[in-house]
Amino acid sequence: MTSLSKQEQVEWEKAEYANVNWDELGFALTKTDYMYVMKFTEEEQMFCNGTLIRFGNIQMCPSSGILNYGQGLFEGLKAYRKEDEGILLLRPEENALRMKVGADRMCMPSPTVDQFIDAVKKTVLANKRWVPPHGRGSLYIRPLLMGTGRNLEVKPSSEYTFLVYASPVGNGLKGVLNLMVEDNVHRATPGGTGGIKAVTNYSPIYKPLTEAKAKGFSDLLYLDALTGSNIEECSGCNIFILKGNVISTPTTHGTILPGITRKSIMEIASGFGYQVEERATPIKEVFDAEEVFCTGTAMIVKSVASITYQGKRIEYKLGAETLAQKLHATLTGIQTGVNEDKLGWTMVIDGPPFL
């Protein structure tokens, strides 16, 4: 892995759009040009000397903490292109702060908020030709924090790598959401890592999720591990229930990820005049809900068409007149610069990335 040459910087300055069929983008990796890497070592005792390098594979010791003991975190956020070709981020400081909370739980150092945002900005600018045209997708950004020091013993790593890469993706996840309630496997347990974006949170649910998808379901809705009577979240998104003027969502008490899209939607819905409640939400409440919708970085806001629980299928309102659609339009309007950002959430990205 090498740093950028002057010639590569000149090539970047000339870049326009990558050769991509923007209308065919889903949520999958498309290799872009550059990624950002910054190291923490025992000698320095801080993250420093971050640099942009060509996108590609990385090397690490087979005994590294991330490979042997899962000492790692990740974040996810998006950059959108405005009609005037400007590029916007939405609330990146929230991702930086969430990573710091997760790092503390995983006994890891973390980049400062400024370092995190600077790395994200540089990664986006270096890959600006991969940011889809206005209204045709976004650049998904994946920051990773990994224990990469040599570590045979069960203990925190001595060295860490902060890496940011990006990929263009389409406008949300395609298809409707048909959920099945999972009442045997739990996504998270009290005292665990369900409330942070630890890499170890995800693969344990692959087996039940694969089985559910084989039956035609989109995702699983998990119940709390203590009582098995309250809904928590899906495999990678938060959930909301609408009844009348009240929107309910499970509280983030350590087993549920505090989604940034979730937080944003709650603030927007409150501004619309809805009563938004964070509380324990019994599974029985899904039976008489008017609408159910999910939120997450990938899907933004998406209506749930049905929930199946113990063989009983409940269907919900869909279409252009739903609250979910209104919330989706409002948030994406802010993300893309179409709607005025009265909340101060967006951050404009400009300038050269190679400084």
The residues that bridge with 100 in the sheet, in sequence order, are none
Contacts of 34 (CB under 8 A, 6+ apart): 4, 52, 53, 54, 55, 123, 126, 127, 353
| Residue type (1 letter), 131 | V
Q: Of 100, 121, 197, 302, which one is the catalytic site residue?
A: 197
Q: Does residue 197 carry a catalytic annotation?
A: yes
* Tokens read off for 253: 């008490």
Task: Please give the positions annotated as active site.
Answer: 197
